[in-house]
Chains A and B, each alone.
Chain A
Amino acid sequence: MSKVFVHALYDDDDKLKNGARKVRALGYGIKEVFSPFPVHGIDKIMGLNRTRISICCFIYGVTGFSLAFTMIWYMLIHDWPVDIGGKPNYTWYHNIPSWIPVLFESTVFCAAHGMAITFLLRSWLFPGVSPKNPDPRTTDDHFLMITTAYTEQEAADQVNAAKATGAVEVKQVASNDSHH
């Protein structure tokens, strides 16, 4: 038998989690879960790694801070020091208290936008991308779990696990299906 995907559709997030736990307990991996809202804990059950996007955010923040610091130092201290109100710009350590607002805002600017762009890139979200959820109900009130079966025994196992945990619809989809 060629590879098939078992699509198990649930109408409740807790039932979905039970189903996912059962499939995992039987020793199968979960290919994908589509849900209308974040189901807390499903990533651990599926065995997904923790996202590292907040580390990226920190790095972007440090970058923003450094860029802003270099920019201000270059413009105000190095390139064209000006004496404004008897407070000359000859040394950066005398001027740094009044740089804090711009340094802070630049840090936030780079951290927030860098993280957002990383998120959109990694999850491949752009205007014009076509959605990949096989069933339109998964953005409303249904939860879809997709598992992979290589033999008929595996497929039967997974179908039974889904049915036993209260899936409202279970179907097998051939692996050459267009959405994969």
Chain B
Amino acid sequence: MHQDSIIREPLLLGKKTYHQVTEDVARPVEGKANKYWWALFFLAVIAWMWGIGCMAYTVGRGIGVWNLNRTIDWGWDITNFVWWIGIGHAGTLISAVLCLFRQRWRLTINRSAEAMTIFAVMCAAIFPVLHMGRPWLAYFVFPLPNQFGSLWVNFNSPLLWDVFAISTYFTVSIVFWYLGLIPDFAMIRDRAKTKSRKILYTLFSFGWSGRAKDWQRFEEVTLVLAGICTPLVFSVHSIVSSDFATGVVRGWHSTVYPPYFVAGAIFSGMAMVLTLVIVGRKVLNLEEYITYQHIETMNKVMLTMGSVVGIAYFAEFFQAWYSGDPNESFIYLSWNNAKGVYGWAFWALIICNNILPQILWIKSMRRNLYITFILSIVINIGMWFERFDIIVTDLYRDYLPSDWTYYSPSWVEVGIFVGTIGMFFTFFLLFARWFPFIAQAELKTTLKATGDLFHNPPRHPKSSDFKETASVEAVH
């Protein structure tokens, strides 16, 4: 079995035993929701309903109710689509990529991060479907036989790649998430006191009984799925970026887009994970599981990804200036845009994504929950602006000056976005109440390596401890 170095802080505080982990994970599922949960749930449902109203209005009247125009034909809809897809990426990063790297700090946050992925992709999918204008014909995107029309779909188009990438990403994420949930549902089933809970979780747990052969297969499936999901997650946002990069619009037609989009996606996704777990750990009493160390590690990932994104911004800005091309000098990251009518959006991006995250270089800030929480929201706003800037401020100065125009969203577009946020939080709150928030079965496998109880000698040894050990060894 793997043993952690004794100078490492334990990942699980509070002397947890196997049974205590069970108790702590089952408590939120078995207990009653408090008034904060109900208040948040109520707000989220209202926002969702408002969004559904706006979607119905859009479908009923057509997308003329949005403020898109002939020059700026992608606006909030595609901005929100890319934003939500990007948020989803951190969940897969945590559960798949960090699984391959054997990062055990992921084990207390991977379940909620994967849930976040699934709900974010659901929110994302709404936007392109609505943007079709006739969502009841959405099945046209699938390669269906000829009686539906005279042509097949075009496999050379990035928009079709998106259909395949996102449907694969969504379904595979659900499978990965649910397979991990099965043993945890079985745990709740086996300790259920009420009949309804017993029936419900027997159904959810698929009759899992934890036999050695099942576990052997389970571990293999988890590992292979992690290996498959790792290239998948990078492919998905690369393909989303191809929607832009293969287009002949200046600012979009750029080879840096795929890696730059993936880094941005992980940046914003980490921020959303932090927003969710900082609240979640408090509300569900999981402070000993999602510790300051977890928060700090995620902040480090965020800082790294933020720096990658920052360098990409700089490269784009530099090239726009250095090329001397009059078209390039009006792209979203250019001096002309910074001082133009969309200058506010340009500076919102730079301040939220590049300037404010620099405080994460300071350790005390990385371990400060309030600062981290506020910063995580700031970064999500910044990443929203990145997509807005890419789309709108690359379109608004068209090749014909007579086409130059301005765009701000209508109340319907804002309403749909608010609705998806409501839908996301509705699902996430339901998840936190009904599903085990932490992957307890997997967590228990590392309890003896990283738990507080099993650390021997106790954690935080002083430097004198090592001198003593060294001298003892010397005597022997």
Contact = CB atoms under 8 A, between A and B. Distances in A.
A32 interface: yes
A115 B445 contact: no
B463 to A, nearest CB: 32
A59 interface: no
B210 interface: yes
Interface string A127-151: 1111111001111110000000000
B206 A127 contact: yes
B211 A54 contact: no
A116 B221 CA distance: 7
A52 to B, nearest CB: 9
A113 interface: yes
Nearest to B1: A40
Nearest to B204: A127
Interface in A48-101: 48, 50-51, 53-54, 57, 71-72, 75-76, 79-80, 82, 84, 87, 89, 95, 98-99, 101
Range for the number of chain A residues in contact with chain B: 35 or more
B220 A51 contact: yes
A73 to B, nearest CB: 10
A127 B203 contact: yes
B168 A76 contact: no
Interface residues of B, number: 66
A85 B283 CA distance: 56
A127 to B, nearest CB: 5
Given A101-B235, A122-B217, A141-B19, A33 B172 contact: no
A115 B225 contact: yes
B414 to A, nearest CB: 33
B172 A125 contact: no
B161 A131 contact: no
Interface string A13-49: 1000000000000000000111111111011001010
Contacts of A99: 155-156
A140 B441 CA distance: 9
A111 interface: yes
Contacts of A109: 164, 167-168, 171-172
A102 B22 contact: no
A13 B146 CA distance: 59
Given A102-B160, A112-B176, A140-B191, 19 more contacts: A32-B211, A40-B1, A53-B220, A80-B152, A82-B151, A89-B156, A95-B155, A102-B164, A106-B164, A113-B172, A119-B217, A119-B221, A123-B218, A124-B207, A125-B182, A128-B207, A130-B207, A132-B211, A139-B187
Interface of B: 1, 17-19, 22, 143, 146, 151-156, 158, 160-161, 164-165, 167-168, 171-172, 175-176, 179, 182-183, 186-187, 189-191, 202-221, 224-225, 228-229, 231-232, 235, 239, 242, 441-442, 444-445, 448
10 contacts: A35-B210, A36-B22, A40-B1, A76-B154, A101-B235, A101-B242, A105-B164, A106-B164, A115-B221, A119-B218
Interface of A: 13, 32-40, 42-43, 46, 48, 50-51, 53-54, 57, 71-72, 75-76, 79-80, 82, 84, 87, 89, 95, 98-99, 101-102, 104-106, 108-109, 111-113, 115-116, 119-120, 122-133, 136-141
